[in-house]
Amino acid sequence: ETGVTQTPRHLVMGMTNKKSLKCEQHLGHNAMYWYKQSAKKPLELMFVYNFKEQTENNSVPSRFSPECPNSSHLFLHLHTLQPEDSALYLCASSQDSATSTDTQYFGPGTRLTVL
């Protein structure tokens, strides 16, 4: 799993806190993704960046704010979250998001608990 790394691996935060999740890919890819994984639900795509430009925002609440400073790094800034936002947040990368046959490589995820 050295291809895509995520920090922190675990995060507990209160509803009034502000925190950030970090993702880094070492694969030379141009596209990066944030997914939310909740129990007994399909993986939910949140955001897509291709060549540092956001190409997809899947109706995600504004309390989640992504940032992609370059093709290798992706952040998810969190503020005033709700308990139902508790989930595993997965980052992925692929060569080019516009190509449907590109394989996505996932990081290990950040387990987020909102109290």
User: Which residues are near another protein by CB under 8 A?
Assistant: 1, 4, 6, 40-43, 45, 48, 55-56, 90, 92, 97-101, 103-109
Tell me how far, at minimum, the Cβ of 33 lies from another protein, in Å: 9
Q: Which residue's CB is nearer to another protein, number 98 or number 115?
A: 98
Pairing of strands 53-57, 31-37: unpaired
Q: Which residue's CB is nearer to another protein, number 45 or number 79?
A: 45
Can you tell me which residue has the tokens 């608990």?
113
Tell me how far, at minimum, the Cβ of 110 lies from another protein, in Å: 10
Tell me how far, at minimum, the Cβ of 52 lies from another protein, in Å: 16
Q: Give residue 109's identity as a one-letter amino acid code.
A: G
Strands, E, within the chain: which ranges?
4-7, 10-13, 18-25, 31-37, 44-50, 53-57, 64-70, 73-79, 87-94, 105-106, 110-114
Q: Which residue's CB is nearer to another protein, number 33 or number 64?
A: 33
Q: Which residue's CB is nearer to another protein, number 1 or number 84?
A: 1
Can you tell me which residue has the tokens 């920090």?
7
